[in-house]
Amino acid sequence: MKSVLMFMMPTCPYCQQAFNWMDELKKENSKFSDVEMKIIDETVHPDIADRYDYYYVPTYYVDGVKVHEGVASKEIVKNVYETALK
């Protein structure tokens, strides 16, 4: 299983929607709860955010590889979890 790094901002409505989908997906598939998800608030940790190549949030990296940047859908978030489980 691969780890997931998610970059977000607390004022981002798309990040809040992504969190809602993450919760829904974990309820739908218990395997998704096993995925290690490290969430980085870029307003609190700009030093970490500056080390990664992205502009929009939410952004997901799986095992160090960017798999999504910007407005997410439930299907995109599901793909992040499925990629981490491979």
- pLDDT tens-digit series, residues 46-75: 999 999 999 999 999 999 999 999 999 999
14 lies in some domain: no
SS (H, E, C) 28-41: HCHHHHHCCEEEEE
pLDDT given at position 10 = 96
pLDDT given at position 25 = 97
Domain that holds residue 51: 4-8+27-85
- Do residues 85 and 33 make contact, with C-beta atoms less than 8 angstroms apart? no
- Looking at the structure of the chain, the number of domains it has is 1
pLDDT given at position 75 = 97
Token representation of residue 78? 């599901």
CA dihedral sign, ordered 49, 30, 75, 10:
negative
49 lies in some domain: yes
Does the predicted model carry a pTM greater than 0.85? yes
